[in-house]
A = this chain, B = another copy of it.
Amino acid sequence: MENASGEMPTTGGPTVGELGEAGVLRRVLAAFGAADAAIVGPGDDCAVLRASGDTVVTTDTMVEGPDFRRAWHDGFDLGWKLAATNLSDVAAMGARPVALTVAFAVPRDTPVALLERIAAGIDAACRALAPGCGVVGGDLGTAPVVMASVTAIGALDGREPVLRAGARPGDVVAYAGDLGLAGIGLGLLFAASADADGTARGDGVQALRDGHPAALRAQLAPNPPIRLGAIAAGAGASAMMDVSDSLSIDADRLARASAAVLDLDGALLAAAFGEQGGERVPLSAMLAGGEDHGLLATFPASAAPPEGFRTIGTMRAPEAGEAPGLRLDGDVCAPRGWDPYTVRLPGLR
């Protein structure tokens, strides 16, 4: 995908308060292409979907401040990220994304152009990451800050869902996607494009994009391996999840859900992910950085992880008296990463 920052102004032009609901809706909907599964698209009380097999559903919200800053995030990137993070949860079940709904709540003085850019980013991410998937409905309202809530629906096409609880002793642990890059990107933004109190500034962002393209893209408009979800399910994945809070937090969750020990191999991690897109990524960033939205999966030793996955550890049974959970090279590894209610980001209450 292209970062389209600056291609279209998202300040100026009519505000949502000037245009009213019907006018805003018309302009936002124009940004969305069709979804293959939609028998009825936006415009009625509900959209109507026809898909095969069982259905998966997930939802995720982004709020200006805790989840994004307008000084850093172009509307297009924001929409892209919102779609990508939800599509990633669908992929992590082994499902194929078929439709999104989008609820916007924004201040009355928000330029309509910003919503159009967010919508364009959502649509572009669907086309690129999950062809055939598209926005089928939504809601418009007002709020003190810009917020967008996306729900994603996927089809299992007759497959069984891949749960996080299915890992078995002896399984290989593998990962696909960026790992730690998004957290490095966030750190760079706070270091170079924020005031001492954490207030985001836009002035340094382009220089950071030029100097650290992979880390900035991973943070601002991530590119998770959506197609690999269904492929991993087809290859026999025993457990899978989207790594959103951090590898250490989410691997620990997978291990506990499976009542097993997940032992990460530091040397395999360093070999596979120590350098990504020209960025050096230390083990600490791989373990504690959030928002990468890669796929963590386990495979029986008899099934080779599909191309795109890198082996990073193994599952084993807990020893007598040992608790299930995460280990790194055999030692206990405390989960560290993102918690929306206890982690304090600079520049926020």
- CB proximity to B under 8 Å, residues A1-47: 16-17, 19-22, 24, 39-40, 43-47
A93 CB-CB contact with B under 8 Å? yes
Q: Is the CB of B20 within 8 A of A342?
A: yes
Contact call B45/A49, Cβ cutoff below 8 A:
no
Q: Which residues of chain B are near A330, meaning CB under 8 Å?
A: none
Q: How many copies does the complex hold?
A: 2
Q: Is the CB of B45 within 8 A of A164?
A: yes
Contact A89 B339 (CB under 8 A): no
A44 interface neighbour in B61, B93, B151, Cβ under 8 Å: B93
**In contact, A90 and B46 (Cβ under 8 angstroms):** yes
Which of A100-108, A187-195, A282-290 forms part of the interface with chain B? A100-108
Is A143 engaged at the interface, CB distance under 8 Å to the other chain? Answer: yes
B156 pairs with A48, CB closer than 8 A: yes
Cα distance A142–B341 in the bound complex, in angstroms: 7
Cβ contacts under 8 Å, A240 to chain B: 45
Q: Mark the stretch among A63-71, A126-134, A198-206, A307-315 that contacts chain B.
A: A63-71
B58 near A137: Cβ-Cβ < 8 Å: yes
User: Which residues of chain B are within 8 angstroms of A49 by Cβ–Cβ distance?
Assistant: 54-57
* A91 vs chain B, min Cβ distance (A): 8
When the two chains form their complex, are residues B93 and A161 in contact, meaning their CB atoms are under 8 A apart? no
A108→B349 contact, CB < 8 A:
yes
Contact B105 A63 (CB under 8 A): yes
Using an 8 Å CB-CB cutoff, how does the interface string of A227-242 with B read, 1 for contact, 0 for none? 0000000000000111
> Within 8 Å CB of A341, what residues of B?
16-17, 19-21, 24, 108, 140, 142
Q: Is the CB of B21 within 8 A of A342?
A: yes
Q: A25 — nearest CB in chain B belongs to which residue?
A: B341
Contact A154 B19 (CB under 8 A): no
Q: Does A144 contact B (CB under 8 A)?
A: yes
Q: Is the CB of A54 within 8 A of B48?
A: yes
Question: Does A147 contact B105, Cβ atoms closer than 8 Å?
Answer: yes
- Taking a contact as CB atoms under 8 Å apart, the answer to whether A139 and B50 are in contact is no
Instruction: Say yes or no: A143 contacts B147, CB within 8 Å.
Output: yes
Q: Is the CB of A154 within 8 A of B93?
A: no
Q: Are B66 and A54 in contact, with the CB atoms below 8 A?
A: no
Q: Which 6 A-B pairs have the closest CB atoms?
A: A46-B56, A149-B149, A151-B151, A45-B92, A46-B58, A45-B89
Residues in chain A within 8 A of chain B (CB atoms): 16-17, 19-22, 24, 39-40, 43-51, 54-63, 65-67, 89-90, 92-93, 95, 99, 101-103, 105, 107-108, 136-145, 147, 149, 151-154, 156, 161, 163-165, 240-242, 257, 339-342, 349
A-B contact pairs, 19 of them (CB 8 A): A20-B339, A21-B339, A39-B54, A44-B93, A44-B161, A45-B89, A45-B240, A46-B93, A46-B152, A48-B93, A58-B101, A61-B139, A66-B141, A66-B142, A101-B151, A108-B349, A142-B341, A147-B147, A149-B149
